[in-house]
Amino acid sequence: MSDKPRFASILVGLDGGPGAASRVGLAARIAQRFDARLTGVAGQGIPISLYAGGWDGGYTEIAAAERSAIRRNLAAARQTFQGAAPSSATWLEGERDPTDLMVHHASLADLIVLARRGSDDAYAGPLSIDPGSVALRAGRPLLMVPPNDERDSASNVLVAWNDSRESRRALSDALPFLAGAQHVFVLGIGQGAVGESLSQACTYLSRRGIEAHARHVPEGDISIAQEIFARLETMEINLLVAGAFGHSRLREWVFGGVTWSLLEKTPCPCLLSH
């Protein structure tokens, strides 16, 4: 067996948004490349208002109709998955909040594949999974894919580096992709990424047989996220690797500025780790 780093198990989230089938196909090709087990996941929860009202006094019929709609939605997601995934793939579904369900099953995965869900992206319906929440809660790397983006080659990879715990985690989690890439660039922006730490990141990769090229950009007039997005285009990058920064506050997720921009607008597949 090869000693190259690999993903052994991949989860892909299904929703009713655009590009669901192509995203399953992308996940299936990645699974085939690494000889990994592919599992599809979809969930939809009963609205809290129905629980609060109880099952009596007129709520029974409403709840029955809601559960029937949920079963139809899950059946459609299952059909989409089975039409695009290999016969060996596994399917998991549940009447539960879809984001919570994905986090619940995250222990099965080496990699989770989800759609980008920026504010300008089309609404994906009640099966929609929040990638930001999954990135911070799952404890697994997340491959976030723009709608209808089918790029899976990861031949030109850009690693956003700032010598934080999160960026070190992302670098390690991305090793299976980096080991197969033709070009790997480690991009440090600002004074915190200068010198020794950027060199050490490249040394870490070289000791694993991965040639990486360091790039440093001083902080300028545009934001770090804008600088990253500009590099993605000019360097023809097809995979971005970055740490995800954020925390929970009053039941809402608060993200760092760069992470928020990545969740909203990353134009290529992006591997996020927290």
Contact 166, 135 (CB under 8 A): no
Q: Is the pLDDT of residue 248 over 80?
A: no
Q: Is the pLDDT of residue 217 over 70?
A: yes
Give the mean model confidence (pLDDT) for residues 115-126.
Answer: 89
Contact 12, 21 (CB under 8 A): no
Strands (E), 29-130: 37-43, 90-94, 111-115
Q: Is the pLDDT of residue 139 over 80?
A: yes
What domains appear along the chain, each with residue ranges and CATH number? 9-145 (3.40.50.620), 156-273 (3.40.50.620)
CA distance 66 to 166: 40
Q: Burial of 15 by CB count in 10 Å (0-12 exposed, 13-18 middle, 19+ buried)?
A: buried
CA distance 230 to 234: 6
CA distance 58 to 163: 58
Helix or strand or coil: residue 148? coil
Contact 151, 189 (CB under 8 A): no
pLDDT in tens, 153-198: 899 999 999 888 999 999 999 999 999 999 999 998 776 556 788 9
pLDDT in tens, 9-64: 999 999 988 889 999 999 999 999 999 999 999 999 887 655 555 555 556 777 78
CA distance 208 to 110: 19
**156 vs 250, higher pLDDT:** 156
CA distance 74 to 25: 18
**103 vs 47, higher pLDDT:** 103
Highest mean pLDDT among 55-59, 236-240, 254-258: 236-240
- Identity of residue 14: L
Q: Is the pLDDT of residue 251 over 60?
A: no
The region, left, alpha or beta by phi > 0 then psi within -120 to 50, assigned to residue 258 is: alpha
Q: Burial of 113 by CB count in 10 Å (0-12 exposed, 13-18 middle, 19+ buried)?
A: buried
CA distance 232 to 267: 8
pLDDT for the residue numbered 1: 43
Name the residue with tokens 């590099």. Answer: 231
pLDDT for the residue numbered 235: 94
Report the predicted TM-score, pTM, of the whole model to 2 decimal places: 0.91
Q: Is the pLDDT of residue 85 over 90?
A: yes
Q: Burial of 57 by CB count in 10 Å (0-12 exposed, 13-18 middle, 19+ buried)?
A: exposed
CA distance 150 to 27: 9
Pairing mode, strands 156-161 and 142-145: unpaired
pLDDT for the residue numbered 148: 82
CA proximity to 102, closest of 85, 115, 89, 87: 115
pLDDT for the residue numbered 222: 80
CA proximity to 243, closest of 170, 190, 179: 170
How much is the mean pLDDT over the chain? 89
pLDDT for the residue numbered 62: 74
Least confident of 93-97, 122-126, 203-207: 122-126
